[in-house]
Structure 1
């Protein structure tokens, strides 16, 4: 909808409501803070899968491939749900969609304590937690950023993306201690309670600046709240059909699939059991992964700042190249105890963990305009499909070869390919005719 101001049209002729007097701190920053806290609280479900592989293998005798399959279903649904979640937020509002998603996550995690068959793991952790987490994935951050900010979008995207890493920092050491001291079931209950605990924060959110009579941050014009968009599924699929006719979509989807494969699918799922294979205690390995979250916050916020100032394509190329180099060295660093080279890897890798998100989202905005949140949802789907494949294949490789080495090397090579793909993404003006229907 085209922005309008109160000066347009005579009184009573449909003129927009003028903004209220602005507080010293713009309301958009309050919304960003609440969103940050919500994502932190919901991050518990992302911290647990890697901690469950060994306990479930020992208790039930399920292979790592079987457990990895449940994680794979979780990650795939996380991604495939995201584009529909963005459209559902346009239809029903942010608060309703995210609140329901958190309740579904709590149900899926809580029900696992009674499971005794592998199909129940697929149902609870794979299906329910996957659907719930996908409904409040990065599309949530993208929707909030697009509606509430016209300036500092790169920085805000970086901050909200870093929220997930901050949650990982909080929950990984706690959950690893619970798993080691009290087994895995209390840890699953903790995830369920954490998801429920942030539901009240969601109700503090407002869906649009017009709800509180203000303008988006960085805009001088009051923007009316658009009416609910019906046909969410149809619109989501329609946006996909338009996007797939453009070259940038395939390059963004391909690079982000490799991003997911080399982070959520590989390191987040398999780092703890891989380190444990080399004699490192689970709590020590989980703490290292939590430290990744510390530097992830720094790297992602910095990446958002860089994205506001530099070519997003070149940033992506640098990020993927550095990530690939670090993964090639990891098999040589795993040992029974923590040592300085491993700490260097953790810091280096943490800075790059999801630094790819702000430039990827910026390129989606550049090429796809108002539909960028939905397009980014589909790009995120490719991220999670890549993660799902490696979560499953990583477990199969461990069962087959007795180690994860081949997976580390393959992921490093894929990151090199992603760096090259990022460099060949064309600028917006080169594709204007192809994407005009999306903007």
Structure 2
């Protein structure tokens, strides 16, 4: 499951947006990323019903069918890049003719990925993006998605009610991510990430002190849900701006790997906090403080001591 998730992860959104669009890339990434939340909203309630009535094996069938149909659609309907079918990328004009498709890269693709990592690692912006996205994974998939419901149960909330709050986050995540894509085409992506991580950090620091009523948790769900995956469009834009269109997909793949590593560490850390400290609160405080650090990292991307280096607000 982890291998398949990695192959179909948000890296695809980065590749499609950088290869096929020269304008409105952020909005494209926002729409594709918001589809993650939409898929959860569509499949999870249906899957829960199937599990309850027929068991988990039956519940896998609709997902397998949907994956198969999506694979066929990509295979027969999608081009590798616009130039391979004689088209220009969206936003290119006759004055800026489309670039010919580059020759297929030679050599082992695994070694090519590691060579790209070595090249990117020499740029401080890579470590800033990877570090901030590590914290993104730590504060979302690893912590909230894994430990939010048990945290609420510890404070006397029913698991079903806590799951409803989590679903509410998914609703606001859908709108927040599309809005983030729209904004990343118009506002400096570094500033967007600063606000996203900063507000997320404050919400996580506040959560253990909330009343854990439906009202209080609903407020948290709105603020936290709006930027759950909203960090993706500006991060993709920055990766493309700093490392170029052709390398953006591979570089973002490594950045996304740091996201998943952060998620794994937070999932373990939250469990250890509950086991040895008998509370999840320290895990949420650490994640909140880390998000504030990520906000600072975001402002430093593409900059040298003398000023701005790259990373324009729109590309």
Change (3 A) 1:198 1:296: same
Distance between the aligned counterparts of 2:54 and 2:277, measured in 1?
A: 31
Q: Which residue of 1 aligns with 2:42?
A: 170
Structure possessing the higher relative contact order (Cα contacts under 8 Å, 6 or more residues apart): 2
- What is the RMSD of the two structures over their aligned residues, measured on CA atoms? 2.3
Distance between the aligned counterparts of 1:411 and 1:378, measured in 2?
A: 22
TM-score (norm 1): 0.64
Question: Residue 280 of structure 1: which of 144, 157, 178 is its match?
Answer: 157
Q: Report the count of equivalent residues.
A: 302
Larger-gyration structure (1/2): 1
Distance between the aligned counterparts of 1:331 and 1:341, measured in 2?
A: 11
Q: Where does structure 2 lack aligned partners over 5 or more consecutive residues?
A: 311-315
Kept in 2: contact 1:304–1:359 (CA 8 A) = yes
Kept in 1: contact 2:18–2:240 (CA 8 A) = no
Change (3 A) 1:243 1:320: same
Distance between the aligned counterparts of 1:186 and 1:334, measured in 2?
A: 39
Question: Residue 298 of structure 2: which of 411, 419, 422 is its match?
Answer: 422
Deviations 1:115-164 (A, max 9, x none): xxxxxxxxxxxxxx111110111111111111211111111111111111
Kept in 1: contact 2:201–2:292 (CA 8 A) = yes
Deviations 1:366-409 (A, max 9, x none): 21113121111111111111111111221222222333221111
Deviation at 1:184, TM superposition (A): 4.7
Distance between the aligned counterparts of 1:158 and 1:375, measured in 2?
A: 19
State whether structure 2 residue 87 is matched by structure 1 residue 214.
yes
State whether structure 2 residue 143 is matched by structure 1 residue 271.
no
Change (3 A) 1:277 1:230: farther
**Structure-to-structure mapping, 1:300-315, within 5 angstroms:** 300-315=177-192
Question: Residue 117 of structure 2: which of 231, 240, 256 is its match?
Answer: 240
Deviations 1:50-106 (A, max 9, x none): xxxxxxxxxxxxxxxxxxxxxxxxxxxxxxxxxxxxxxxxxxxxxxxxxxxxxxxxx
**Structure-to-structure mapping, 1:116-195, within 5 angstroms:** 129-179=1-51, 184-188=56-60, 190-195=62-67
Q: Where does structure 1 lack aligned partners over 5 or more consecutive residues?
A: 1-128, 433-439
Distance between the aligned counterparts of 2:158 and 2:50, measured in 1?
A: 14
Distance between the aligned counterparts of 1:332 and 1:187, measured in 2?
A: 38
TM-score (norm 2): 0.87
Distance between the aligned counterparts of 1:155 and 1:277, measured in 2?
A: 39
Distance between the aligned counterparts of 2:185 and 2:249, measured in 1?
A: 18
Distance between the aligned counterparts of 1:283 and 1:176, measured in 2?
A: 12
Deviation at 1:222, TM superposition (A): 3.2
